[in-house]
Amino acid sequence: MTRPITDLFAEIRKATDRHRARHGCSAYPYGNGPLLSALAAAVRARRILELGTALGYTALSLAYGASDATVDTIECDADHVRLARDTVAATALAHHITVHEGDFAKMLPTLDPGYDLAFFDGGTPIPTLHSAVRGLLRTGGVLITANLTHDGTADAVQKALFDGKFWRSASVDERGETAISVKL
Ligand SMILES: C[S@@+](CC[C@H](N)C(=O)[O-])C[C@H]1O[C@@H](n2cnc3c(N)ncnc32)[C@H](O)[C@@H]1O
């Protein structure tokens, strides 16, 4: 029997789908915000990094899970940045979330290391970005990587996450679309 999932941010998820249909962009909202909330709570995250904000659905899910946390989320599309800032500002979590405008590769070096949790949802995973995110995570910190079933560079990232050298990883779903990885 399939049970309904309660998602506090379901309306923002739907708004993201509506926006994508109009904008013709790549703002596909992540499929399971409550999973991110639960992981943020389990990690007791204080500092969270997100790559790929879109309209803020997952930034809010992460912030909701760890009420003491700050979330730094990065987005390059100016329309998404504006919409995400407006969306976040209308919630009680506004003071916990900073939407950084810019390209991942340019923004990551400007952030201070020591993140407890990172979520990659910015298109196809790329090895250089994953190395940069790894450098920002504390040892024992958790990385959630979406889009691992994309072709191309996702294969190399998947291999690095699962070869047992630098991460302890598990797939969240049968298809292997999302992995949870602990930094060794
Ligand atoms: C799949 S959407 C993120 C969805 C969001 N996490 C959610 O669940 O609602 C990916 C986002 O990453 C942004 N993005 C893609 N490549 C980027 C890059 N190199 N730098 C910054 N943002 C990027 C896109 O503009 C898009 O808004």
73-114 residue pLDDT tens: 999 999 999 999 999 999 999 999 999 999 999 999 999 999
Distance CA 113, CA 130 (A): 14
Total number of domains in the chain: 1
Closest ligand 1 atom to the C-alpha of 147?
1
Q: Does 67 reside within a domain?
A: yes
CA 75–ligand 1 middle distance (angstroms): 6
Q: Does 39 reside within a domain?
A: yes
Nearest to 123 by CA among 100, 149, 142, 143: 149
Q: Does 27 reside within a domain?
A: no
CA 126–ligand 1 middle distance (angstroms): 13
Is the whole-model pTM more than 0.85? yes
Ligand 1, atom 9: closest residue by C-alpha:
29
Question: What does the pLDDT profile of the chain (184 residues) look like in tens digits?
Answer: 666 679 999 999 999 999 999 999 999 999 999 999 999 999 999 999 999 999 999 999 999 999 899 999 999 999 999 999 999 999 999 999 999 999 999 999 999 999 999 999 999 999 999 999 999 999 999 999 999 999 899 999 999 999 999 999 999 999 999 999 999 9
Q: Does 178 reside within a domain?
A: yes
CA 97–ligand 1 middle distance (angstroms): 16
Q: Does 92 reside within a domain?
A: yes
Q: What is the CATH classification number for the domain harbouring 70?
A: 3.40.50.150
Which residue among 7, 74, 77 is best mutated to probe the pocket of ligand 1, counting the most ligand atoms within 8 A of its Cβ?
Answer: 77
Residue 128 sits in which domain range? 32-183
